[in-house]
Structure 1
Amino acid sequence: MGTDPTRLSASSIARRVREGTLSPVDVADAYLERIHDRGDRTNAFVTVTDELARESAADAAAAIEAGEPLGPLHGVPVAIKDLDDVAGVRTTSGSLLYEDHVADADSPFVERLREAGAVVVGKTNTPEFGLGTTTDNRVAGRTSTPFDPERVSGGSSGGAAAALADHLVPLAPGSDAGGSIRIPASFCGVYGLKPTYGLVPNVDRPNGFASHTPFTHNGPLARTVEDAALALDVMAGVHPRDPFSVPAADDYRSAVDRRIDDLSVAFSPGLGIYPVEPAVRETVADAVSAFEAAGATVDTVDPAFDHDHEDVLEAYYTMARVRWQSLFDSLEAEGFDPYGDDRDRLRPYLVDLIMDADAPTTREYKRADAVRTDVFDALQDCFADYDLLVSATLATTPFRHGEEPETIDGVEVEPLRGWVLTQPYNLSGHPAASVPAGLVDGLPVGMQVAGPRFDDATVLAASAAVERHRPWHDDYPA
């Protein structure tokens, strides 16, 4: 068959399938074989959908033979995060409560991917209900970064990022309510884009407004920027059942080829408020040179936040607890008893985080809104002067399982999320990506690239420029 399909990007697979030089059946078989051979190394998958994948690949091959129109992802394997539904496949959400739950229908963006010709090969691991910056649960266990199986992959899209970095799949979308695309992208050395809020629909039920608290996004993770842009073109756009969905604003794939010599970049390693480990700071500062090499102007500038990182995190927690507690209301409506008989089936982490935590008062919630406003205004002020704002994605490299950092560069931080620089953009809704910036002691570092709302195309264009000048594809341990 020539080139091993598992070494190809999603875009290359799609091109070769359209040209007739690569069979969708051979592609699916190659990826399924690799998943079964290497999957235990990172534990990226919860479910491998061998039968569905082979049926879909055969259908894709038949469509080619019949001369039918082909979608932009025709024959491309894709893995779906185990929070999102694939019809006829179980969605566990990483919880024993849903261990045997089988979905009736595809989630909206999954439906769009499949209509574009993508072949679902499985479901990727996530912490219980997606609540965590590392990926571990009682259904499937923990997921590791391929760079060191003793270290975390990040969360909550940790399975997706690990699968990509280990070449188990070429495309794996995720979701992001506080960094859940960008955190694992950084820890696994892949590209992850949290789009503008509303660009990729969330159809939450029974609460159709849940994604607002804080802003929750679906978006692509991939090994190349082109692949992420191709997926975003398919996933984006208005959905009649999402009250916050917005139209796609651009042809995102074409943005990858744009020049960026007219762009101005504000570089702020810690966004002016976060401590960052020196080696991470140095690696990101070195990666910023790629923007200058591509002709952009770079200034070192900090956003003018009126609150420190602890204030921002507390505002995030206030809003997130409202969201999390409403999740448990939904569980009760489905017949579960999370505060009683089903309590022991939940991870103690969730019990501490949600059930044993005080519910925010309305006054506390509105105070958090004031902090959120400050974050939004400071970012808007920055984007009034600059096209992009660049920082570290995370303050540290992947740490060992169970060893969350308590200090960063000598500064005490909250161990679960105090090392994360992603939350401001979930409070504001701006697009933000994690771009592989390099390695520290063999472990990956991410650079966060953010832009004005609805200008996802510029974030993609800038990310692609970094990729051209500092390609990261040879870094993967696979």
Structure 2
Amino acid sequence: MDTVSVDSTAREMVAAVRSREISARELLDLHLARIAERNPELNAIVSLDEERAREGAAAADEHLASGAEVGPLHGLPFAFKDTHAVAGWRTTYGSPLYADHVPDSDELIVERVRRAGVVVIGKTNVPEFAAGSHTFNTVFGTTRNPVDPSRSAGGSSGGAACALAAGMVPLADGSDMGGSLRNPASFCGVVGLRPSLGRVPEWPLYNQFETTSVGGPMARNVGDLALLLSVQAGPDPRTPQALGQPGSSFAPPLTGTLDGLRVALSADLGGAFDVDDAVASVVAGSAAVFAAGGAVVTEAHPDLAVADDTFRTLRAWHLQAKLGPLLREHPDSFKQSLADNIRLGESLTGADVARAYTQRTALAETMRRFFEQYDVLVLPVSQVPPFPADQEFPHAINGRPMATYLDWMRSAYLITVTGCPALALPAGRTPDGLPVGIQVVAPHGQERRLLEVASAFEAAH
């Protein structure tokens, strides 16, 4: 038991539970102690239920002792993102309208992770309805950065990334529309993957053919991320767009190399967005790591000029379709920026949405052709380092004002509408010690290749 701590890898923890080196009860106690130490300041985990968690850990130990087969995450403490419905657990979506909501069934991503053997301890904090990349709401308050609590942990999976980085949980789930798995991973110094469309199916959804938001994994290292993806991924008959490859094909070990890899690197996609000088420096510095491993690094980028309009149109359309009726019923119960975005969707025409989907099709073709020349694209995850936690969003980058709460997220959301998998990977720090990640993008469907490349970079870095 002395060899396992809350800072061990998830794979080490799973192996220790299986070999009886540590019990699920003891592993839970270690994590509850860390939560008691750090969560009061950071506010990453919400709806914590220690009593039910202890019951779950005891059941996990009894299951193992019975000789029955156990899942790949057996005994790991786990807190689900508070936008993911967990049967019998308070699920608020960060909204006062759902402050006391308790679902009666699991959604698919939760169902899979629970079946893999986790011990549920609670939820991780989110912005209201997961809108925006800074985690605060009127139900639970603000989640703070584990490296510097005066700063943002990012969002919308901010509670998940913070809890991971602080050692409160060994793995975390999340979702990503405009960067919600990638941005908080960069801010907190962990790994987050936005998978290809259809890789991690979601159910139930109001629209199974809406394709801006996807679920996915977060972890402290690439091998652990692969472990969680292996549980989350794979087809399901309820999800018509799910990719057919089984989740097990993404399980570790990872044995990638950087040798011969064709890397396209760009700090700003040819001027597509402003980027803080400290972030640009880390992205540029990653080139040396790739090159030292034998990769061929070229300053290059695809033309994603139509991606901004495409994302903003589809996001507004999606928010209006999903939340418009609720906003009409409760006009004073939404944060202003979200209410404005929902109302923006009301003015869209069929021609606007058709244009966005036509552009999205063109973006997919642009990326297909780009990846004939390169294996991966490397760019910033976030255009800024973690900003002050008392701001809703950064007001300026390098002195240039940001007009809306989305402007500073372009580096993530321009990639969203390509449909490609994108992984946020720790790559350095700002001069004042704040984490900065690089975003590594691969062709659609190539998560295994992306994980191998990320693992090789991680080892070299």
TM-score normalised by L of structure 2: 0.94
* Residue 224 of structure 2 is aligned to residue 227 of structure 1: yes
Structure 2: distance between partners of 1:412 and 1:191: 29
Quote the residue 2:142 is aligned against. 142
CA contact (8 A) 1:130 1:156 kept: yes
CA contact (8 A) 1:60 1:74 kept: yes
* Residue 434 of structure 2 is aligned to residue 437 of structure 1: no
CA contact (8 A) 1:192 1:220 kept: yes
2:327 maps to a residue whose letter is P
Deviates more, 1:245-254 or 1:231-240: 245-254
Deviation at 1:356, TM superposition (A): 6.3
2:215 maps to a residue whose letter is N
CA contact (8 A) 2:145 2:187 kept: yes
1:313 maps to a residue whose letter is D
User: Structure 1 residues 224, 444: closer, same or farther in 2, change over 3 A?
Assistant: same
Structure 2: distance between partners of 1:155 and 1:454: 25
Helix, strand or coil for the counterpart of 2:443? Answer: coil
Deviation at 1:456, TM superposition (A): 0.3
Deviates more, 1:185-194 or 1:14-23: 14-23
CA contact (8 A) 2:319 2:345 kept: no
Quote the residue 1:251 is aligned against. 249
Deviation at 1:410, TM superposition (A): 4.7
User: For 1:319-338, what aligned pairs fall within 5 Å after superposition?
Assistant: 319-329=314-324, 332=325, 338=327
Quote the residue 1:129 is aligned against. 129
Q: Deviations over 1:326-369 (max 9, x none)?
A: 1125xx4xxxx5324x2222222222221366521112222323
Quote the residue 1:475 is aligned against. none
Structure 1: distance between partners of 2:404 and 2:253: 37
| Match 2:452 to one of 446, 458, 461 | 461
Helix, strand or coil for the counterpart of 1:144? Answer: coil
* Residue 374 of structure 2 is aligned to residue 399 of structure 1: no
Structure 1: distance between partners of 2:13 and 2:4: 10
Helix, strand or coil for the counterpart of 1:338? Answer: helix
1:142 maps to a residue whose letter is T
Structure 2: distance between partners of 1:321 and 1:356: 6
Quote the residue 2:92 is aligned against. 92
Runs of 5+ unmatched residues, structure 1: 471-478
Quote the residue 2:296 is aligned against. 297
Helix, strand or coil for the counterpart of 1:64? Answer: helix
1:270 maps to a residue whose letter is D
User: Structure 1 residues 358, 67: closer, same or farther in 2, change over 3 A?
Assistant: closer
Quote the residue 1:345 is aligned against. 333
User: For 1:446-457, what aligned pairs fall within 5 Å after superposition?
Assistant: 446-457=437-448
CA contact (8 A) 1:313 1:418 kept: no
Structure 1: distance between partners of 2:445 and 2:307: 23
* Residue 388 of structure 2 is aligned to residue 390 of structure 1: no
* Residue 272 of structure 2 is aligned to residue 278 of structure 1: no
Deviation at 1:291, TM superposition (A): 2.0
Structure 2: distance between partners of 1:235 and 1:418: 31
* Residue 185 of structure 2 is aligned to residue 195 of structure 1: no
2:225 maps to a residue whose letter is A
TM-score normalised by L of structure 1: 0.91
Helix, strand or coil for the counterpart of 2:171? Answer: coil
% identity of equivalent residues:
40
Quote the residue 2:359 is aligned against. 371
Quote the residue 2:178 is aligned against. 178
Helix, strand or coil for the counterpart of 2:391? Answer: coil
Q: Deviations over 1:433-476 (max 9, x none)?
A: 00011110111111000101110011111111121112xxxxxx
Number of residues of Structure 1 aligned to a counterpart in Structure 2: 456
User: For 1:302-317, what aligned pairs fall within 5 Å after superposition?
Assistant: 302-305=301-304, 307=305, 312-317=307-312
Quote the residue 2:70 is aligned against. 70
Quote the residue 2:23 is aligned against. 23
| Match 2:263 to one of 262, 265, 274 | 265
Helix, strand or coil for the counterpart of 2:417? Answer: helix
Deviates more, 1:370-379 or 1:459-468: 370-379
